[in-house]
Structure 1
Amino acid sequence: MDSGRNVNAYGTDGRIHQLEYAMKAASLGTTTIGVKVDTGVVVVSEKKIVTGLQIPESVKKHHLVYEHCGFAFSGLSGDARTIISKARDNAINHKFIYNEKIPVEGVAQFLSSIALNFSSDNSANKIFSRPFGISILVPGYDAEPRLFSLDASGSYRDYKAKAIGSAAEAVTTELENTYNKEKSIEETICSTLLLLKSVMKDPINKYNCEVMVCRKEGVELLDTERIEEYLNK
């Protein structure tokens, strides 16, 4: 079988091409930026509104996994819906079994495990027959703020700040030069929205972006009116 089509085989160049195709698909998605500061985590994402007839609220880049942990993505939204459902079920099961909230890193570990199941022969263990086509940010708050990033390879890492999507490279360069963990949540929201604005092709407004904030008190998904207030500051 052609190694470029086989999800279980390395090519002659030592690469799994289907995995690389999936990571490429994720990199073509709209930009998502996560920034961790001393008091929490801010995540800002661009939403692609393809027509004025589309209801903006029908596009969601940010989701709750549990009250202390969120999920944001870039890439194929159909894949994201399935994966977030699995993550929520796992978080609920963890609470039921251990009588505690699942650690934020535990969510990242679970997502990593299902990312690698595409090659499993057991259909019960896999949700896709191919690598999933999204990159993921997992922000949350345990004893302290946490921010993990995960890609289709199943590898996850802990970050101070992370960008995924089509403008990830440009955003990462800017974050490396400007990151400051002592900023307030409000300052971080404003600066991250400005950064997203600088890489968006369309003018930013309250309908084509999303903001999520993870504090000790829990995760908050800002509504459009709150987003507009920050855009006007």
Structure 2
Amino acid sequence: MLPAAAGYDRGITVFSPDGRLYQVEYAIETVRRGTLALGIKSTDGVILAVEEKTRKLQISNVTQKIFQIDDHIGLAAAGYIPDARTQVDHARFFAQSNRLIYDEVVDVEGVAKNLADMAQQYTQYAGARPFGVALILAGVDKNGIGLYLTDPSGTYIGYDAVAIGAGSEQVTEHLEKNYRNDISLDKACVLAIESIFMVSEEKTGTKHIRLAVIDSKSKTLRMMPLEEIENYSKQVQDKESQS
């Protein structure tokens, strides 16, 4: 342990002399060790894609890293997934409360801010630890297409395309080079699968990939079936063979 960190990482409410909260930094490191998750906005919708590493005998029909918050909002997580489930329950309650109280669907940014506020509270009270998970919220509301990232510190930021988890730095560079504001939903799906293959140990097959789409017309989250993911995967392989 570095001398500067000695003693200052034992309590979440204690700042180090150089102004750092080590417990929050440890939580962010947990996110970096999680499997990849990413979100990409397109002209006609937004997608969420994750890599899920399953064991040979594990039943993998249920997606562990993509959650539906409301009809029009989805969430992808990287890090300590049990923490994500707690925040998902909170976000679902917030979204349904908004429907009951105001008789309208909740904004994507409103959910992102609420989750960020919840995460921030866990950085300032003794006897608790920060959430060890980062979340990508995606959806389509009255303001258009929204894509936001929240992290254990309580920060939330809007993005056109974002990646979190192991290999996210490499994927972010890839997105910066290949993302365009006029990208279609189909091309965004291809870009997402291409990004996962880039950092995954499995360079073939799609059983480790999960993908959800929220298009601008229906404003409804749809989990993409394996057959459709395989079609996009073939486009990635064709693209690589031509280059």
Query: Shared fold by TM > 0.5?
Result: yes
User: Which residue is equivalent to 2:198?
Assistant: 198
Q: CA contact under 8 A between 2:12 and 2:125: conserved in structure 1?
A: no
Which amino acid in structure 2 is aligned with residue 104 of structure 1? Answer: V
Q: How many residues are matched?
A: 227
Structure 1 distance, partners of 2:208, 2:177, is 26
Structure 1 pair 23–192 and aligned structure 2 pair: CA distance change class (3 A): same
Which amino acid in structure 2 is aligned with residue 34 of structure 1? Answer: G
User: Which residue is equivalent to 1:35?
Assistant: 40
Identity percentage of aligned residues: 31
The 10-residue stretch of structure 1 (149-158 or 57-66) with the greater mean CA deviation from structure 2: 57-66
Q: CA deviation at 1:57?
A: 2.5
Q: CA contact under 8 A between 1:206 and 1:225: conserved in structure 2?
A: no
Instruction: Give runs of aligned pairs for residues 214-229 of structure 1, distance below 5 A.
Output: 214-216=214-216, 217=218, 218-229=220-231
Q: CA contact under 8 A between 1:94 and 1:101: conserved in structure 2?
A: yes
Structure 1 pair 182–83 and aligned structure 2 pair: CA distance change class (3 A): same
TM-score, length-normalised on structure 1?
0.92
Structure 2 distance, partners of 1:121, 1:75, is 21
User: Which residue is equivalent to 2:135?
Assistant: 136
Runs of 4+ in 1 over 3 A off after TM superposition: 119-122
Are residue 96 (structure 1) and residue 97 (structure 2) matched? no
Are residue 169 (structure 1) and residue 173 (structure 2) matched? no
Instruction: Give runs of aligned pairs for residues 59-74 of structure 1, distance below 5 A.
Output: 59-74=63-78
Which one has more relative contact order, counting CA pairs under 8 Å at least 6 apart? Answer: 1
Structure 2 distance, partners of 1:167, 1:173, is 10
Q: CA contact under 8 A between 1:135 and 1:151: conserved in structure 2?
A: yes
Structure 1 pair 212–176 and aligned structure 2 pair: CA distance change class (3 A): same
User: Which residue is equivalent to 1:125?
Assistant: none
Q: CA deviation at 1:15?
A: 0.3
Instruction: Name stretches of at least 5 consecutive residues in structure 2 with no aligned partner.
Output: 1-5, 236-243
Structure 1 pair 112–210 and aligned structure 2 pair: CA distance change class (3 A): same
Q: CA deviation at 1:229?
A: 2.5
Q: CA deviation at 1:58?
A: 4.5
Structure 2 distance, partners of 1:14, 1:121, is 17
User: Which residue is equivalent to 1:5?
Assistant: 10
Q: CA deviation at 1:203?
A: 3.0
Instruction: Name stretches of at least 5 consecutive residues in structure 1 with no aligned partner.
Output: 123-127
Q: CA deviation at 1:2?
A: 2.8
Which amino acid in structure 2 is aligned with residue 211 of structure 1? Answer: L
TM-score, length-normalised on structure 2?
0.88
Q: CA contact under 8 A between 2:12 and 2:124: conserved in structure 1?
A: no
